[in-house]
Structure 1
């Protein structure tokens, strides 16, 4: 068919109404119902509701709860009802108390965890300050000015090691797969190795700044993630301000490091480091402004402490402007200016450290108040809960009867669950018939399937010759029976080969090899053998309602790349796209009755594989040549005649060389 491309016909299936029926050994048949719950009429809904109200469980409950108070059985029932009226509020109170106690206990544990995290954050902050100082001293030493820079660097090492030993735990992050950060011992070895190799590796000052900055950034991220995972409740703003202060301190430290590098070398040697200095300065201001926005304490510190350091801030601003000017005419660095910059920026960082301490004290005070409140609530809830536990024996019989009913309901739920599971398996069976199993499994797990490109495959397309005329002279049932006979034969044969049935549209049939499972270059021989097989078997079939009349086919094959993907969500279909699909359809539509026309690409693959007899087609329409030329394909096509030494149910192609032409 000329119009047979990658066309899709939507099929609406109610997955919940699929019922498996008996079928042959090669497949299943399904009865399909498209009626859903939304199509019930008002009378149907009323009838369903009445059936639920008069079901057996409700009748059982009625017999249990209602009785004659004069008789012994009636008195027992009456007593049970009275106990239920009294004990039911106690049961509700028990649940409320247990939930309240659980919430208070969770809050108390979380408060304790936050307090531990804050304490650890203080120690980690001291460690980060030590690392920042070591970064600055290392950068100053590598700038190679001054004789005492090495001594100051060596003095910074013990401070960092002491701060590292002071950490109460190691903040290992499962997401970080770097071995040097997986334990304290690994990190110590990693840091010492870097120190020992400082001179031998010919490191630069900027490389040292980057090394320490990346390490500090990893520790800050660990602390940020650990605090973010906690349920911080009403103190979340203060915690956010605390985190922003730590990040601001790091960027100030980076600014201090790049400033030391500038004064030690005399100028930034490239634009990259100049921009990193500006970025550190801007980032520090941004995070500090964010900390002041979230925390009133940080804002107060900013207005009091920094205002009291006007002289220091003026010096820092003057030095910043000097660095921003980046006067490259200065040929040598100045150790004096570098130390002056370091000293003034250290005062600025001390202000940030003070802010962190004040925020820590405030957070600890809030956590203490929360902890006391949680403890009080737990005591109250515990007293109430203990009182309920004391009177719980009075309701054992009542619970026993409720348990009996719950078991009945559980039995019904189990039956319903089994029915749902059976229905789910039936739905999955239908899905596996609509899509390849691998694609269907991926679609079930991920909810979507990305289109995939296949560099090579071979597509088979066939069409029933004279189908339009036969359909016009046949009833709809005869047409259905005619197509069912043909496609059942197709389905039986393709199961033998490494092929996948893509779709059927009307009397058209599309099969592909090499998709969705790649098979190298074997796809060409699989489709070629399948084509000869189908042509042989279909030629033996008679039309069900026309005795003596046989099926006539046109078959076209083409090899090339395609894109395969799932189209649709309600009734997904696995479809192929690309010029290979259109050329395969052209091979079929421009072919002749009971012949297999293959393109030049399929011919080349089969020739390389060997074992197939083919001959060049001599005559071809101008339209076919134009279409092939439009898709950059050779204008030569071929007839597939036979396959050497192939036997079709006792028939050998070597015994009758006229098989292809006789068909």
Structure 2
């Protein structure tokens, strides 16, 4: 039943708990809430996104890290293979330099009449070629035939060896022939090693390349210096300039190598100390003589030429050992990096497997958890709706038992003070006789409905209060709880006359049915006797 005073029903609705109100009065919330199938699907999708997306991001990062580590290991392994091959090629370059200089020595006045002593050098060079662990497929950018394979290079050298003759030779062409091969090897070394991206050893790699290039210039210096002492002079100014150029380039490369790696100087000092003599001082002494010679003072000296050649060979052997040891140190450093990369790959693979295994487990757990949450949400929504329904019933009962102002105070846990009303008008209304006459149940219900509808309408019009009773009776009063001086007398009297006239005009009362109204004006004291009752 509704509260029958003014805006009582609206006040009852406004006092409902906001959560309950949102569930009861806002139907749009319930349509898409977690208790509907569409709401469950949306909630499940959101939960899966919140849990699966981070796992997918973690999985993608793991794959990226693992792929990057594998790529780095492959790069490191390729750099290691190139360094190992460069050590082998360094030996080949050394033997090519030795063969070139021995050929020049043979063609000069210092050499014997036969080439028998050259056979040893030829054999050493061929062994260095065939001992290579592999032949680079990209050895020469110009795709020259002699660099297609080991066999092609050996055949190219054999043809040249056969045409060497004391009767028909050109020393410059001899130097150019071997230098072109050596330069091709050095260019490949630069290209292959500089492709490596190992930050830990890049300085050592640069020092290794600089030392290799410097050694090539030192070999040409040995050959030109030997010719100088044999002839007592250079054949041309161009040859003299070439000699000076090779010295300067060697010194520049050697100095740069020492700057990039302190191991160059320490390895060199260790090798030189094995000879018991200072080879560097001896070579620098003869260099000074060559660079400051005058044609009037210098004469051919076969013995000096041989001494120069032997000391320069000793110096080149020393640099070869330094180059070899430096290459082995680079390989050892790469082994450490590769081993670390292998460990990182293992850890990354294990982590990736764990992530892959976790993904279905997390999805399964999330789905189960979401289902439990949805069931609890459904149960909570049902119980909340029951609570709201019960709350509404309580509000209606309170409104029917007492005035709306008093009911609102009780619902909001406010104290109801004891009040004295000097004059209050009370009207008792009821229908009597319907149990004794021939009226049908339908007629009785229609009459009672008309009575109550009319009373409800007049309550609002006359600003009075109404409390329902039983057996078609109810009480109307004025002057309480709102004081209105003596106006309550007029309001109650007019209300009674208007009610009886309106009901008689709208219904056909039989003789056995009578509307009885009793009116009185009394003193009244109101107050709350307990937390549950009001008087």
Q: Distance in 2 between matches of 1:317 and 1:152?
A: 29
For the aligned residue pairs, the C-alpha RMSD in angstroms reads 2.4
Q: Is 1:107 aligned to residue 72 of structure 2? A: yes
Q: Is 1:131 aligned to residue 96 of structure 2? A: yes
How far has the Cα of 1:149 moved from its partner? 7.0
How far has the Cα of 1:239 moved from its partner? 0.4
Q: Which residue of 1 aligns with 2:340?
A: 373
Q: 1:183 to 1:288 in 2, by over 3 A?
A: same
How far has the Cα of 1:191 moved from its partner? 1.2
How far has the Cα of 1:307 moved from its partner? 7.0
How far has the Cα of 1:322 moved from its partner? 2.0
Q: Within 5 Å, give how 1:32-71 maps onto structure 2.
A: 67-71=32-36
TM-score, structure 2 normalization: 0.58
Please state whether the residue corresponding to 2:115 is helix, strand or coil: helix
Q: 1:198 to 1:310 in 2, by over 3 A?
A: same
Q: Distance in 2 between matches of 1:259 and 1:323?
A: 7
Q: Distance in 2 between matches of 1:280 and 1:86?
A: 69
Q: Which residue of 2 aligns with 1:241?
A: 207
Q: Is 1:382 aligned to residue 349 of structure 2? A: yes
Please state whether the residue corresponding to 2:133 is helix, strand or coil: coil
Whether the 8 Å contact between 2:212 and 2:323 is mirrored in structure 1 is yes
How far has the Cα of 1:206 moved from its partner? 2.6
Q: Which residue of 2 aligns with 1:222?
A: 188
Describe the superposition over 1:475-521 as per-residue Cα deviations: whole angstroms up to 9, x where unpaired. xxxxxxxxxxxxxxxxxxxxxxxxxxxxxxxxxxxxxxxxxxxxxxx
Q: Which residue of 2 aligns with 1:339?
A: 306
Q: Which residue of 1 aligns with 2:282?
A: 315
Describe the superposition over 1:389-418 as per-residue Cα deviations: whole angstroms up to 9, x where unpaired. 224456999xxxxxxxxxxxxxxxxxxxxx
Q: 1:304 to 1:183 in 2, by over 3 A?
A: closer
Please state whether the residue corresponding to 1:206 is helix, strand or coil: helix
Q: Distance in 1 between matches of 2:128 and 2:59?
A: 50
Q: Distance in 2 between matches of 1:169 and 1:329?
A: 53
Q: Distance in 1 between matches of 2:32 and 2:148?
A: 71
Q: Distance in 1 between matches of 2:163 and 2:50?
A: 81
Please state whether the residue corresponding to 2:278 is helix, strand or coil: helix
Q: 1:361 to 1:266 in 2, by over 3 A?
A: same
Describe the superposition over 1:28-67 as per-residue Cα deviations: whole angstroms up to 9, x where unpaired. xxxxxxxxxxxxxxxxxxxxxxxxxxxxxxxxxxxxxx95
Q: Which residue of 2 aligns with 1:272?
A: 238
Among residues 161, 168, 173, which one is paired with 1:202 in the alignment? Answer: 168
Q: Distance in 2 between matches of 1:263 and 1:151?
A: 24
Q: Within 5 Å, give how 1:182-581 maps onto structure 2.
A: 182-199=148-165, 202-302=168-268, 305-306=271-272, 311-329=278-296, 333-393=300-360
Q: Which residue of 2 aligns with 1:154?
A: 119
Q: Distance in 1 between matches of 2:287 and 2:335?
A: 42
Unmatched runs of 5 consecutive residues or more in structure 2: 1-30, 365-535
Larger RCO: 1 or 2 (CA < 8 Å, sep 6+) = 2
Q: Which residue of 2 aligns with 1:166?
A: 131
Please state whether the residue corresponding to 1:210 is helix, strand or coil: helix
How far has the Cα of 1:355 moved from its partner? 1.8
How far has the Cα of 1:387 moved from its partner? 1.7
Please state whether the residue corresponding to 1:328 is helix, strand or coil: coil
Q: Distance in 2 between matches of 1:332 and 1:186?
A: 43
Q: Which protein is bigger by CA-based radius of gyration?
A: 2
Q: Distance in 2 between matches of 1:368 and 1:69?
A: 60
Q: Distance in 2 between matches of 1:241 and 1:377?
A: 29
Q: 1:272 to 1:185 in 2, by over 3 A?
A: same
Describe the superposition over 1:512-546 as per-residue Cα deviations: whole angstroms up to 9, x where unpaired. xxxxxxxxxxxxxxxxxxxxxxxxxxxxxxxxxxx
Q: Which residue of 1 aligns with 2:82?
A: 117
Q: Which residue of 1 aligns with 2:105?
A: 140
How far has the Cα of 1:280 moved from its partner? 0.8
Q: Within 5 Å, give how 1:582-661 maps onto structure 2.
A: none
How far has the Cα of 1:148 moved from its partner? 6.7
How far has the Cα of 1:237 moved from its partner? 0.7
Greater shift after overlay, 158-167 or 333-342?
Answer: 333-342
Q: Distance in 2 between matches of 1:175 and 1:357?
A: 26
Whether the 8 Å contact between 2:52 and 2:363 is mirrored in structure 1 is no
Q: 1:174 to 1:212 in 2, by over 3 A?
A: closer
Q: 1:395 to 1:360 in 2, by over 3 A?
A: same
How far has the Cα of 1:108 moved from its partner? 1.1
Whether the 8 Å contact between 2:140 and 2:188 is mirrored in structure 1 is no
Whether the 8 Å contact between 1:105 and 1:378 is mirrored in structure 2 is yes
TM-score, structure 1 normalization: 0.47
How far has the Cα of 1:89 moved from its partner? 1.3
Q: 1:174 to 1:220 in 2, by over 3 A?
A: closer
Q: 1:91 to 1:259 in 2, by over 3 A?
A: same
Structure having the larger proportion of residues in helix: 2
Q: 1:261 to 1:274 in 2, by over 3 A?
A: same
Q: Distance in 1 between matches of 2:278 and 2:263?
A: 23
Q: 1:334 to 1:154 in 2, by over 3 A?
A: farther
- How many residues in Structure 1 have an aligned counterpart in Structure 2? 332
Q: 1:155 to 1:332 in 2, by over 3 A?
A: farther
Q: Distance in 2 between matches of 1:395 and 1:221?
A: 56
Whether the 8 Å contact between 1:131 and 1:216 is mirrored in structure 2 is yes
Q: Distance in 2 between matches of 1:162 and 1:330?
A: 44
